[in-house]
Amino acid sequence: MSKLYVVFACLCIELFVSTSAQSCSVGSNKVCPHPAIWFWQYNMALPFGVLLQPGRPMSNYFSTPKPLKVLIHSYTGNRDTTPSYQLRPKLLRIPGINIISIDYSKLAPNQCYLAAVQNAHLVGRCLAKFLLSFLSRGLIFAHDIHLIGFGLGAHVAGFAAKFLIHANYRVGHITGLDPAKPHFQTLETSERLDASDADFVDIIHTDVFVHGLMQPIGHADFYPNSGVKQPNCGALHEIKTHLCFHNRAAEYYAESIFTGVGFKGFQCRDLYAFASGECQPNDDIQLMGYNIPRNARGSYFLKTNSFEPYARGANFNDMDRTLFGINYNGPQLREKLHELYLGDITLTSTVFIQIMPVECTGAPPFCL
């Protein structure tokens, strides 16, 4: 195994639970509907949305079966943040679909990341039961359901889909927008989003060294700008830079809905093969984003423009493969992560290291 690949495998966050001074709410029951989980419906006739009340007849909201897009926010988010903020205005221009923006913000507040991770299973369960109330009445069809989750929300989508599988329904499509890394680096597919959760799962990786998973977990995984750093976001040691990288997955996806140019990537075995130059542009080219064909399989790499519009078609000139020597200035970034992102978790090791050719004792994919 190449040393460079092994170094990638060691870029990990070691997290251990500590006692938090802040009271973080963990859903104490599995009863759905849950008072802290809300569902808002949008379509061309309801551009400002309506809160779906569990006691009302479902046919009031869905008179005929239509494709359904479910937008699922991440840690510290709500129904109007990423990905709804970027995607909903574009999706509202598409006739004949319904949109649901879920809000579980009270179960994923700031400085309560561990509680949010624990609550993700509950949120997924309640989302699944909510969808079952439509499926059982024939008001939607499973193959028409498209779950779009960002960060932690990507794993919520996976948990919801797993619950639906147990009820003999398989979701048609899941999109994971930079699925969250902390506490989801595991081989146990029951504990994270996985390709087996839906007929088709596509992933966009934009911050693989901080917020997002590096390993491919879908049928098709896309790594714009190597998935490592996105253009014009700022200095690597700043937390706001990595939040920009993280959010860029939703921005690319939103642009992909109507772009005529398209985000096109070429197939490569993995990040190491791309960074080392083992693979070059080839005929296996797929379209990243909303219009991806469902027969796409593998990992794909592409470059974006530095400013909007980001899409540049199948232009693979000047692709940056240089990862050797990148320095994340660990102590500064670690402190900011602890303040903003991991308030109830103790970081027990250096979070980010300079990429250098040394041996690693970690076991991939846990440290990917």
What is the residue whose two structure tokens read 């390709």?
A: 195
Summarize the chain as % helix, strand, coil (round to 5).
30, 20, 50
**Average pLDDT of the residues in 46-71:** 83
DSSP H or E segment with residue 69: strand 68-72
* Closest C-alpha to 192, from 166, 159, 147: 159
Greater model confidence, 359 or 13: 13
What tokens does 55 get?
């006691």
CA proximity to 149, closest of 82, 199, 242, 85: 82
HSE-CB at 132 with a 13 A cutoff on CA atoms is: 18
In single-letter form, the type of residue at position 14 comes to E
Identify the pLDDT of residue 252: 98
Q: What tens digit of pLDDT does each residue of 172-213 get? A: 999 999 999 999 999 999 999 999 999 999 999 999 999 999
**Residue owning tokens 């896309």:** 222
Other beta carbons within 10 angstroms of residue 267's beta carbon come to 18
- Bridge partners (DSSP) of residue 40 are 51, 101
For 242-293, the pLDDT digits (tens) are 999 999 999 999 999 999 999 999 999 998 899 888 999 999 999 999 999 9
- Rounded to 5°, angle at Cα 289 from 288 and 294: 75
Q: What is the pLDDT of residues 151-171, one digit of tens each?
A: 999 999 999 999 999 999 999
pTM value is 0.87
CATH class of 27-330: alpha beta
Alpha-carbon span 353 to 332, nearest angstrom:
12
* Tokens read off for 316: 């693979």
Separation CA 91–CA 112 (nearest Å)? 31
pLDDT reading at 12 higher than 60 = no
d(CA 55, CA 96): 25
For all residues of the chain together, what is the average pLDDT?
Answer: 84
How many Å apart are CA 164 and CA 167, to the nearest integer? Answer: 5
In 3D, which of 228, 148, 161 has the Cα closest to residue 189? 161
Task: State pLDDT tens for residues 65-99.
Answer: 899 999 999 999 999 999 999 999 999 999 999 99
DSSP structural state of residue 180: B
Of the pLDDT bands very low, low, confident and very high (cuts 50, 70, 90), residue 322 is: confident
Taking the C-alpha atoms of 83, 87, 89 and 90 in order, what is their torsion angle to the nearest 10 degrees?
Answer: 180
Percent of the chain with pLDDT over 70: 79
Instruction: Report residue 356's pLDDT band, with 50, 70 and 90 as the boundaries.
Output: very low
Give the closest residue to 310 by CA, choosing from 356, 235, 249: 249
